[in-house]
Amino acid sequence: MSQNEQVLAAETAETPRLSIAEQFARRKQGQAPSQLNSQRVPIYGDKATATIETKPLTWRLAHHDAILDLETYQSLRGFEGLKTALSKAPKEVGDMIKAANVRGRGGAGFNAGLKWTFMTPPDGGPRYLICNADEMEPGTFKDRLLMERLPFQLIEGMLITAHAIGATDGYIFIRGEYIVAAERLMAAIDECIANNLMGDNILGSDFSFNLHVHTGAGRYICGEETALINCLEGRRANPRTKPPFPQVSGAWGRPTVVNNVETLSNMPAILINGVEWYQSLPNEKGNTTTPGTKIFGCSGLVNDPGLWELPFGYTAREIIEDFAGGMKQGKRLKAWLPGGASTDFLTTEHLDVPMDFDTIQKAGSRMGTGLIMVVDESQDMVPLLKNLEIFFQRESCGFCTPCRDGLPWGVKLLTAIDDGQGKVGDVEKLEGLTRDLWLGKTFCAHAPGAMEPLMSALKYFRHEFDSKIVVPAVEVDAETSEWAETEIKKVMSSMVSSNPAASSNSGADTGSNNNSDTKAGAEAGNNTPTSKPSDVK
Ligand SMILES: Cc1cc2nc3c(=O)[nH]c(=O)nc-3n(C[C@H](O)[C@H](O)[C@H](O)COP(=O)(O)O)c2cc1C
Ligand code: SF4
């Protein structure tokens, strides 16, 4: 058993679930707070065939469960990409990444190389590269895999990026709960420092760079890049006004680039294999122009939730059925979120849409983090949305009024509807809220992100909200009641005389297969699912 495997075996033997406080306590006592690692994440169906050409992000995991020492990483082409980068001028590396069109994996999908070009030119002062490792998007756990199991690959990606943008110092801003990942990154950085891969004159070149791990305290808004910078500086994590963009005035007012963990982890393989290779990766599917691979994933009531590195262009149906093993027995898919809780729901009608930034957007949602969350037909959308909106409400930084006051109002309405206390007009109020908290109405994208699942749930599953609204009984006086009864009798008798067959199945049960009782009929009509039954079972 290799050293890595022994470490993992020891860790996975520890099964009890520990609270974050308990993990910190263990750490203080010098024990490994490694309970998180006992949750094994399946990432391969085809370990044997994984190569740097086919799985540039995770191919090394076909050989080891995790690569935690420099020697093993170097034996698997580790730091070859950095050596290639250092043999080129910074601009040449930047141009290469821009041409490769590595689209940011933090959610927005912006070309990373193009983003780097917005940095103001070097003036002899400090310049920063920040790795966004906050990963608090519900249902998202891809960056955790890359940091816990491949810490040297992320560090190499950051060194290549730092060389390209002329960064002097770097920070990995990591979610506080990712204790194992933070420890492994710190250990890997120490090993790099000891081997001239970090610090002054890296590998004998004139490139110098220092990297630090900064743990956050677990706030979703710290993932927004300008709130992250405020937090890093020791301020309250409120987003900043843009412009100026961080590339001009970021950390401590200096030029700064913020990139996601997965974005940065792509760099080593591109430097080794080149731009054309990176662009050819989606040819496997042939239905998208988005270059490269992505760590896709799936959670919810599927048989095998997990993560899989795949070229862009795989469809949600393929990911759910072929990789996640399909829906659990007896469950039928109703809806899915393409990339975390802040994306719009799609339905069974969209299962064959290729997963890439542009195509998912055309279908009415966003790629987000690319980790699918499935909702099955037995799940009621109202409590589900209430749960999501409670999260977004709690994570609002409170800086701007529409978000600070609007999100709690949404939760109040959803709670009332879910408790059977919703009034006529409440669903319309929720619809209004999705417009009032939309892009341009709030200071940052947090509130619009919170509105995406709500807006799409109302679009596709409005009947589930409407059916919970209590319509108050209308009180009528005796005279009106008598008149109504006479009128109804008249209508019924005219129906029977014009359709004698109906008399054999008379009264309120007429056509009872469709339920002609007005209210129940309307409900039955309203309850007819708008989406086709899923093929995904
Ligand atoms: C509320 C909010 C939370 C975010 N959380 C994250 C996050 O956890 N990780 C991340 O990489 N990007 C997150 N982002 C996006 C970042 O602001 C930024 O666009 C991203 O880090 C840029 O990296 P990329 O260009 O490599 O994608 C978040 C944005 C918002 C509005
Ligand atoms: S939208 Fe929400 S999270 Fe963003 S600045 Fe306003 S209050 Fe803060």
> Shortest CA distance to 297 belongs to which of 180, 174, 143, 134?
143
- The amino acid at residue 391 is F
For residue 230, report the distance from its CA to the centre of ligand 2, in Å. Answer: 14
- 536 found inside a domain: no
Same domain, 176 and 73: yes
Same domain, 120 and 218: yes
- The amino acid at residue 511 is G
- The amino acid at residue 68 is L
Same domain, 171 and 52: yes
Same domain, 31 and 54: no
**Token pair of 135, please?**
């990963």
Same domain, 329 and 450: no
Same domain, 125 and 205: yes
Task: Please tell me the pTM assigned to this model.
Answer: 0.84
Same domain, 364 and 484: no
How many domains, the chain?
Answer: 5
- 472 found inside a domain: no
- The amino acid at residue 337 is L
Identify the residue whose tokens are 């049960």.
509
- 156 found inside a domain: yes
Whether 105 is in the pocket of ligand 1, judged by its Cβ within 6 Å, is yes
Q: What is the pLDDT along the chain (537 residues), one digit of tens a residue?
A: 555 455 445 544 544 555 556 655 665 665 554 443 344 455 555 556 788 988 999 999 887 888 999 999 999 999 999 999 999 999 999 999 999 999 999 999 999 999 999 999 999 999 999 999 999 999 999 999 999 999 999 999 999 999 999 999 999 999 998 999 999 999 999 999 999 999 999 999 999 999 999 999 889 999 999 999 999 999 999 999 999 999 999 999 999 999 999 999 999 999 999 999 999 998 888 888 899 999 999 999 999 888 999 999 999 999 999 989 899 998 999 999 999 999 999 999 999 999 999 999 999 999 999 999 999 999 999 999 999 999 999 999 999 999 999 999 999 999 999 999 999 999 999 999 999 999 999 999 999 999 999 999 999 999 999 999 988 777 778 888 888 888 888 888 887 776 654 444 333 333 333 333 333 333 333 333 333 333 343
CATH number of residue 217's parent domain: 3.40.50.11540
First to last CA, the chain: 39
Pocket test for ligand 2, best of 404, 407, 433, 437 (most atoms within 8 A of CB): 404
Same domain, 45 and 35: no
CATH number of residue 439's parent domain: 1.20.1440.230
- 535 found inside a domain: no
Identify the residue whose tokens are 């680039």.
257
C-alpha span between 164 and 85 (Å, rounded)? 8
Same domain, 307 and 398: no
- The amino acid at residue 473 is A
What residues make up the domain containing 500? Answer: 478-527
Same domain, 149 and 243: yes
Using CB distances shorter than 6 Å, the residues near ligand 2 are 221, 239, 396-400, 403-404, 442-444, 446-447
C-alpha span between 488 and 480 (Å, rounded)? 12
C-alpha span between 170 and 250 (Å, rounded)? 12
Neighbouring-strand partners of residue 170 = 129, 211
Contact status, residue 382 vs residue 465, Cβ threshold 8 Å: yes
Pocket test for ligand 1, best of 119, 224, 392 (most atoms within 8 A of CB): 224
What is the model's pLDDT at position 482? 85
Same domain, 153 and 236: yes
Same domain, 112 and 232: yes
Kindly give the pairing relationship between strand 333-337 and strand 210-215: unpaired
CB atoms within 10 A of CB 259: 27
- Give the domain-ending residue among 376, 397, 427: 376
